[in-house]
Amino acid sequence: MSGVFITGTDTDCGKTLVSLGLMAAWQARGERVLGMKPVASGCDLSPSGLCNADALRLLAKGSHAAPYELINPYAFAPPIAPHIAARQAGIEIAAGPIARAYRALAAECDRVVVEGVGGWRVPLSPRLSVSDLPGILDLPVILVVGLKLGCINHALLTAESIRARGCTLAGWVGNGVDPRMQAGEENLATLGELIEAPCLGVIPWLEHPTPERLTGLLNPFV
């Protein structure tokens, strides 16, 4: 397996954190790893153009330097749904540039960790959504479950949709996003019983998380 696609139950569920943690875990095993965020909204203008904070973190964590435009082929300034941001910019997000950027990165390393934008069914254009990307890139999916009230429903619906679209759900990661969540262990037990894929790790709520702190909490599974 040369790569993995990271999706989540919602925006801000911890996709970037898990992506960075998996990169660190594989790098600790001596593998060359690069990160990729094909589409990002909420970007800031820099001397080299629009750049996204999460994409920059993936770039910095890579085993070697890579051009930003390969890490993040589609970058938009407004922090809004990407298909709306693209429409406002007069651009239609297409699969071709994403696939070419992924192949260029994959040729230079052992693994590419590809992070989606928002949740699993976020539209990217009238003909493309986040849920199409794993099939286009031929990647298995890891689901990040933001552990909070309502996460069971969100996780089960997302896992069901991943399989319905013919994708491989390689596993799921529980990420603590609400320090006040009640019955956390019971929720995790239910998720473990009902998601038909292995749990690859559980990340407690961390005030200052770093990728290195996650390496002992995540099982990179291969």
Report the catalytic residues. Answer: 37
10 Å Cβ neighbour count for 2? 15
211: left (phi over 0), alpha (psi -120 to 50) or beta: alpha
Helix (H) / strand (E) containing 161: helix 151-164
Using alpha carbons, select from 44, 52, 55 the residue that is nearest to residue 20. 55
| CA 142/CA 200 separation, integer angstroms | 9
Per the CB < 8 A criterion, the answer to whether 221 and 193 are in contact is no
Q: Which residues 6+ apart lie within 8 Å of 137 measured at CB?
A: 3, 5, 98, 99, 102, 114
Contact assessment for residue 35 and residue 113, using Cβ atoms and an 8 Å cutoff: yes
